[in-house]
Structure 1
Amino acid sequence: MSPSVDVIVPVYGGREALQRCLASVLRYPQEANWRLVIINDASPDPAVQQDLEKVAAEHAHVVLLENSQNLGFVGTVNRGMSLDADADVVLLNSDTEVANDWLDRLVAAAYSAERIGTVTPFSNNATICSFPRFCQSSELPRHWSLAEMDNLFARTNRGGLVDIPTGVGFCQYIRRDCLAQTGLFDEKRFGRGYGEENDFCRRAAAQGWRNVLCCDTFVFHEGGVSFSHEQEERVARAQEILKELHPDYQMLVERHIHEDPALLYRIRVLLEMLRRSPRRKVLHLTHHLGGGTKKHIRELSEWLSNDMDSLVIRPVEGAGIYLQFGPDDDAPRLFFDLPAMYPSLVRLLRSLGLSRIHFHHTLGLETCLWGLPDDLGLPFDVTLHDYYFINAHPSQTDARGRYTPDLQSQASSYPLSVSLEEWQQNQQQLLYGAERVIAPSVWTVDVYRQYYPNASYQVAWHPDSEEHMPWPAVRNPVETERPLRVLVLGALSPEKGADVLEAVAMEGARRGQPLEFHLLGYAYRPLDSAVIEHGAYAEADLPGLLEEIGTDLVWFTALWPETYSYTLSEVLEAGLPVLAPDLGAFPERLTGRPLTWIRSWESTTDEWLKCLTEVAGVLRTEASGPFAWNNQPWPETGPGFYQSNYLKGKAGPVDSLSDGWLEELMQQCRSAEAGQGNRSFREQLLIHLLALRQGRVGRLVSRLVPVNVQRKLKRKLSRKPIHELRKE
């Protein structure tokens, strides 16, 4: 006999979310014997009460209750759970939405075993029950409606259950016999709400009841509607109470997160989402160093999001790779120990219907991955983000960080495991096999053609140019009453010109020049106080920071030929005057731009100071603008490559995978990943050394240790860029 169920929705604020919630509950018929119990907890919004009265009048199976005074969440749901002593209950937040036969599946899960007490579905925002990112909130997956997502879970994970240490209160089914034995929520301790469902679940577990995740149901949860301003305080208080009442609670949650028994069910759905997607699926291979390469993959994925799904392979320091289901760092991922697990990787990829492979970098990648195009029968591209394919030296700079395109000297200063000739023969196989070798500047192609003349080159500026061009007009913000504020942006290595900036700033200060030098970012070592350092910045904050600093001129100090420069794009968008070196992509991207100066990258300190003084004179006598940038440059191939031509080609075959094989693969991936934990100690040591270097003693020591020695030590401890380590 099917149980009767009260679906209890406590209401206070959030009118629009509430309307969507109630409409979704009432939209779908269920086989279960259920009614909707809405409890208005003295909402201060009279429109909410009007909405509720209308819903109750139009639907016979809706019960509307009103608290004469505000009881808070716990008191309100306790009132609802006490309404019918025989009915099971579903506690449903007013900022959720449901679809299809959601309730029938929760009922089926609750009665699939004798001692199941609580049932929680998957959601986009439900901590340990979250999808696609475990323990992280996210939006509803792009291009999928709630009904489609829920149907996908129903088909893919039919009947799947996972034991969890606690249910999650956004949508929690509680059997009446469990509720009767365990008792209501603890209103005295948990007051107006937060942590009460965790306490209930642990009390139920102590009575022998199971808390389970219902893997075949997905409910949308907006989150943050109720008492958002008080949330941090309530979370902290709830954690203290839970620790006191249930000393093993945190340990159980941490063990569950570590073991992640629902991973198989999330991966099943992710794979099915990819198989069913009508978009082209591209596999991007890259290094693990972040920077512009990482940004390009994310940008490209966003730019083509309506037409492309992205998977990413990146190496893990030590051994193996991650296969990421998306371009972001926190995207769901699987670890593969290569080359041992290469056949399994190929089999998994063959089940997804990929259409193209894109090599963005091969640093740190196992060479077996170069066989993916042949093993998957797919065309592939290579993008030249730097000069690594020439001789394993990305920037082509010497020990001083200065551009020196002499292969023999570079090969000796950046050791190869093979001879230079063997290295280039190996890279040639990849570059000549590519359908397109994509370069973000003409300069890059000109350099590579000296070594790989027969590659199929395609010059294409990154999608941010397609998105933002024409760039804004240039403005002149200079105020004549103060020194010229010269800003350098980014993470400055020797190659990026940290030493040049410091030398010019120090000499300018010594001479009393009316110049003020700022660094928005950080250098590879502490710089002299003549440079005002502002620290790292988030890209979204840059426009405000440029105004706050009062930037007059942005100076690019690079001593290596950057292939594109996203930082330049940010400055072009800001419309500020620019001083840049005659190296790499800068000259071709800045052709014809007003209030823009290109000077020799080999300029001496005196020459840079003279140039800056001349620029200051021009800016102080010019009008404020804006100055239109007419005839903005494009490569000869013109705009639109990524939008129009990048995704050509057909999808490959889709092979089927058995549940048994996939489950075995999950176990192999997790076992292999568990062996990679020893690398974190080295990174933590490096982070500690970096922090010490910021102190007075550290600054002195760092000046005594040669740069190449510092680099060798840094590479030994970690090959991640410093900004990535600091972020972690």
Structure 2
Amino acid sequence: MVRPAPWSEVRDGMARRGVPDEGEGASPAPIFSGYRHRVTEADRAAWQAWADGRAQEAFRRGDEASRAGRFDEAVRWLDRAARMARDNPHVLLALALAQLGAGHWEDVLDTARRISRRWPSREALGLQALACSRMGDLDGALRAVALLLARFAPSAEMFPLAGDLAEAAGFPGWCGANNRGELLGAAPGPVRLRLSGPRGGVREVETLPAALPDGWQVARALDVTCAGRPLLGSPLDLAALRRSEGCVTPVAGGWEGWLWHPADPDFTPLLRIGGQSGEEQSGEEREIALSELAAGTPVDAPLARPRRFFLPSDALPPGPVSVTDIYSAPLPGSPLIPALGRLFDGARSRGLPPGFRPVRVGTRLGTPEIGDRATGWLVVIPAYRDLASLKPCLKRVLADRRDGVEVLVVDDATPEPALARFLDGLAAQGAITLVRHATNRGFPAAANAGLRRAAGRDVVLLNSDTLVPPGWLERLGAVLDRAPEIGTATPFSNDASILSYPSATSVNPVPDTLTARETDRLCAALADAALVDLPTANGFCMAIRGDCLAQTGLLREDLFGRGYGEENEFCLRAAALGWRHVAAPTLFVTHRGSASFGDQRKALMQRNMGVLNALHPGYDGLIRRFHRRDPLAGLRRRLDMARMKLRRGRRPVLAMILHDGGGGVARVVRERGAAFARQGWFVVTIRPDVDGCRVAAAEEDFPNLLFRLPTERDDLVAFLAGIGTRAVEWHHLVGHAPEIRRLHEWLGVPCDIFVHDYAAFCQRIALSGAEGRFCGEPDVAGCIACVRERGSYLGETIGVKALLRRSAREFAAARRVMAPSGDAVRRLQRHFPALSVETVPLEDDAARRVTRRAAGPGRRIGIVGGIGVEKGFDVVLELARDARVRDLPVEFVLIGHTPDDEALMATGRVWVTGEYRGDEIGRLIGGAELDFGLIPSICPETWCFALGDLWRAGVPAVVFDLGAQAERVRRTGLGWVVPPSLPAAMFNNLLLSL
């Protein structure tokens, strides 16, 4: 499904102010996030449904145009869809194919590279090769084709290009392979084949194509040469070719799943089913060819073709049943355990074996059997892949090893010979205890191989992609010792689910060494923190008391396949026996995250969370309640506070207050903040939150500095004073708690005010009156009537006269009052005659130059930004409708978005590109081939960044005789100023005459 970014990523509330009433495509009523204004799930759902519909319609129209061969039209629609559903692989691939059809080679290359960076695929590489070839970039085309042939099964459409490139680059020929056992390619003579791996050997074939040599199913690679020279594509990565993705999940009546080979998506995968006993398979095996495409899988890759299957429980042999691909690689979820299947069939608890009887979360089945723990530690590190992560992990662990600490590594049949040799070397030196599996059994079994050797000792289960700091075991042990019923302790990490820091809800970057050490030192200072109980530990670094492990038992190998969720289930069993799971906030461990699970992590999570909830009903609710309470928030905030104080150093602090609506205000704050930083200030921002406010900084992420108001007002003031705040700069207070207006007073620092709009005297903020047009700034009585009729956007209850009195007091108390234009200054002084206001332009208009395209019979006119009612939505709609009725040669390109794009585009005279990022605007304006721009704002702007965007691209602009937009055009001469009251027909005539 084509979906846009989720609500949480939308930061355009102010731009969406003022939504037209007409049009089925109109967006939901605008929602302002702010103090005591909670965005509900219904709000989010309404917005998501509207956004989904827009993205889906754009994709449908683009796909339809592409199928009909109207590639330029298709590019427009699909580019729009790609802006609404950023990084959606299916949209990007469709866009690249449309660009290919239109002959836009540079765009094809750019889009294909975007796809490849996240979803390597033969289609994306093929598009790169074709685009490079058409642009004359032989090296680029060769690189793409060589990678495609080496790691993917080439489609027949690629054969001619591979042959042409091989000839142009002087290769004797080219080669590729597929999972049907075919060696594809072309060569002028006999070809020599050399397999690498345990069954390697040399064979010659007379010509290509040919059959792959015996043993290719287990070989790592195949060298293909002709007359001693490698063919283009050699060596072929057979391991990559064979790799499969899939999953098998218990459901009512049986087991469902999916399987495919990403490097060979056309290949019909074969599912192998057989009995299993321990590590050795037994019983009759059978194979099933999977032809039906699967829907609803977590596979995001473009043109992915996973196939589905369903295995009825009554058709399976008794006992555990293995499910593998044709190369005997087990699917996540294999083996199939009959008792687990009966659980999902709804069998009554007493009819199930003890280990499969559901135990509701919170049920107590016993008490902790607290005993004397054996001295010493056992550190268990399961290893499978990624030697580059394992080496530094073990280096840190071994460097900090004390007496009585055994480091045990379990090699779970690694496919990397270098990793196996590395572990052999450490074991030979006596540095580690090494346990090696003959076959890959998955994380739970590998972990258990170590846990079985605990012998009463406390144990740490440690991922091989972690980095521990000095003194880590002592700190974990200190937490375990704080209460006898503590069963597990888990530290903070950048990637640890509920124990993640700095953010517990979004992905954190992996910290560099210095940052990790600094964070760990700050964590170590939390020794006075009260214990925080957790619903579950996290297995990336889980310390387990020896007596808790002895009573609870091992991880469940039979339930969780290769892994994910096994430590949660262990913790739920331990909790049912009365053991506690607590945080170890005095320790920070770096975690690279999910190296062993690779691309199938989402499938594993979905499958295993279903199993976990079936065995322990109420688990999801337990986690939701923990997230709502967020008892670790206070500790994360302490860390953020300490980290910000450290980052600030000796610099004075400037606090900049703004709303949470993004747009121009956020841009000004960002740019002014950068300028202050260059002058030696440390700049923090304060934005509203439903419970109070959030403090942040541009230099680094500090997501936990939430202060609840009014209850934590003193904490906020103490923190800002403690980091050295020397001044406050107001930019916008809409959405803020009342306490923020007096923050500078409590801090005892000066306050500067930067005026962005007219909220100081206009409760509509933008001087909008009837039909959203400029109100003309009536007297107080007129303002009172306007607010009574149309309402206020301020988000607070205050009368017109009271607002004027409050603003006058605040302006008088400010050290400086600034506005970006002379027009804005004059309007402020009209309402506050005694006010002294500095004019602080936001851009250097004097440096701008524009050029006119050679005039033709028609006009293509550009409009930039988020265009709501005050920004001129109705003006554009009226112009477009008039142009359609009179069949005028006028086209409007709206680079941005509106509350009702569909109403505009239905006229056939407006194209709306969709949302854009700041770094894209110059390219979008330049690519639109505009005659000139139009700023349709029907209210006075205090600046207007859209005008500057047009001028930077060399495009002159038409503006109404209002506000800063008219002032700037008159001063620079870079456009035209027209009356704001022109009827649409006269306005179109004027535009055609320019």
Fold shared by both chains (TM-score > 0.5):
yes
Task: Report if the CA contact (8 A) 2:867-2:898 is conserved.
Answer: yes
Show the 5 A alignment for 1:163-242.
163-242=533-612
3-state SS of the aligned residue for 1:122? strand
Q: 1:576 to 1:230 in 2, by over 3 A?
A: farther
- Aligned-residue sequence identity (percent) comes to 30
Task: Report if the CA contact (8 A) 1:393-1:410 is conserved.
Answer: no
The residue aligned with 1:413 is: 786
The residue aligned with 2:407 is: 36
Following TM superposition, by how much is the alpha carbon of 1:395 offset from its aligned partner in structure 2, in angstroms?
0.8
- Distance in 1, matches of 2:933 and 2:594, equals 40
Code of the aligned partner of 2:567: E
The residue aligned with 2:899 is: 523
- Distance in 1, matches of 2:579 and 2:976, equals 73
The residue aligned with 2:37 is: none
Q: 1:135 to 1:397 in 2, by over 3 A?
A: closer
Code of the aligned partner of 2:537: G
The residue aligned with 1:671 is: none
Q: 1:342 to 1:9 in 2, by over 3 A?
A: closer
3-state SS of the aligned residue for 2:503? coil
- Distance in 1, matches of 2:832 and 2:508, equals 44
The residue aligned with 2:811 is: 431
Which one of the candidate residues 825, 829, 846 is aligned to 1:445? Answer: 825
- Distance in 2, matches of 1:539 and 1:111, equals 52
Show the 5 A alignment for 1:499-578.
499-519=874-894, 520-523=896-899, 527=903, 529-530=906-907, 532=910, 534=912, 537-539=915-917, 542=920, 546=924, 550=928, 552=930, 554-568=933-947, 578=957
- Distance in 2, matches of 1:298 and 1:366, equals 22
Code of the aligned partner of 1:537: E
- Distance in 1, matches of 2:745 and 2:504, equals 34
Deviations 1:275-322 (A, max 9, x none): 443144333333455543345445655776785252415264xxx733
3-state SS of the aligned residue for 1:527? helix
Show the 5 A alignment for 1:239-638.
239-276=609-646, 277-278=648-649, 279-287=651-659, 289-297=661-669, 307-314=681-688, 316=690, 321-325=692-696, 331-334=703-706, 336-338=708-710, 342=713, 345-347=716-718, 349-365=720-736, 367-408=738-779, 409-414=782-787, 423-452=803-832, 455=835, 457-462=837-842, 486-519=861-894, 520-523=896-899, 527=903, 529-530=906-907, 532=910, 534=912, 537-539=915-917, 542=920, 546=924, 550=928, 552=930, 554-568=933-947, 578-586=957-965, 599-614=978-993
Task: Report if the CA contact (8 A) 2:637-2:706 is conserved.
Answer: no
3-state SS of the aligned residue for 1:117? strand
Once the two structures are overlaid, the 10-residue window that deviates more, 72-81 or 491-500, is 72-81
Larger radius of gyration: 2
User: Number of matched residues?
Assistant: 604
The residue aligned with 2:218 is: none
- Distance in 2, matches of 1:373 and 1:286, equals 14
Following TM superposition, by how much is the alpha carbon of 1:247 offset from its aligned partner in structure 2, in angstroms?
0.2
The residue aligned with 2:378 is: 6
The residue aligned with 2:193 is: none
- Distance in 2, matches of 1:142 and 1:424, equals 52
Following TM superposition, by how much is the alpha carbon of 1:511 offset from its aligned partner in structure 2, in angstroms?
1.8
Code of the aligned partner of 1:390: F
Following TM superposition, by how much is the alpha carbon of 1:384 offset from its aligned partner in structure 2, in angstroms?
0.8
The residue aligned with 2:526 is: 156
Q: 1:497 to 1:151 in 2, by over 3 A?
A: same
Q: 1:266 to 1:483 in 2, by over 3 A?
A: same
- Distance in 2, matches of 1:71 and 1:305, equals 54
Task: Report if the CA contact (8 A) 2:960-2:979 is conserved.
Answer: yes
Task: Report if the CA contact (8 A) 1:129-1:135 is conserved.
Answer: no
Task: Report if the CA contact (8 A) 1:357-1:380 is conserved.
Answer: yes
Following TM superposition, by how much is the alpha carbon of 1:569 offset from its aligned partner in structure 2, in angstroms?
5.6
- Distance in 2, matches of 1:44 and 1:311, equals 50
- Distance in 1, matches of 2:854 and 2:542, equals 61
- Distance in 2, matches of 1:50 and 1:300, equals 56
The residue aligned with 1:711 is: none
- Distance in 2, matches of 1:54 and 1:303, equals 55
Of structures 1 and 2, the one with the larger relative CO (CA 8 A, separation 6+) is 1
- Distance in 2, matches of 1:477 and 1:44, equals 62
Code of the aligned partner of 2:804: Q
Code of the aligned partner of 1:412: A
Following TM superposition, by how much is the alpha carbon of 1:341 offset from its aligned partner in structure 2, in angstroms?
6.3
- Distance in 1, matches of 2:716 and 2:820, equals 30
- Distance in 1, matches of 2:881 and 2:811, equals 45
- Distance in 2, matches of 1:52 and 1:460, equals 65
Once the two structures are overlaid, the 10-residue window that deviates more, 31-40 or 302-311, is 302-311
Task: Report if the CA contact (8 A) 2:811-2:835 is conserved.
Answer: yes
3-state SS of the aligned residue for 1:202? helix
Following TM superposition, by how much is the alpha carbon of 1:129 offset from its aligned partner in structure 2, in angstroms?
1.0
Deviations 1:103-148 (A, max 9, x none): 2101111222212221111122222112233333323689971111
Show the 5 A alignment for 1:94-133.
94-133=464-503
Q: 1:215 to 1:379 in 2, by over 3 A?
A: same
Task: Report if the CA contact (8 A) 1:31-1:104 is conserved.
Answer: no
Q: 1:582 to 1:259 in 2, by over 3 A?
A: same
Following TM superposition, by how much is the alpha carbon of 1:380 offset from its aligned partner in structure 2, in angstroms?
1.5
Once the two structures are overlaid, the 10-residue window that deviates more, 298-307 or 184-193, is 298-307
Deviations 1:637-672 (A, max 9, x none): xxxxxxxxxxxxxxxxxxxxxxxxxxxxxxxxxxxx
Task: Report if the CA contact (8 A) 2:859-2:992 is conserved.
Answer: no
Task: Report if the CA contact (8 A) 1:558-1:601 is conserved.
Answer: no
- Structure 2 gaps, min length 5: 1-372
Q: 1:180 to 1:337 in 2, by over 3 A?
A: same
3-state SS of the aligned residue for 1:389? coil
Once the two structures are overlaid, the 10-residue window that deviates more, 601-610 or 542-551, is 542-551
Q: 1:273 to 1:217 in 2, by over 3 A?
A: same
Task: Report if the CA contact (8 A) 2:658-2:685 is conserved.
Answer: no
3-state SS of the aligned residue for 1:9? strand
Code of the aligned partner of 1:101: G
Q: 1:589 to 1:17 in 2, by over 3 A?
A: farther
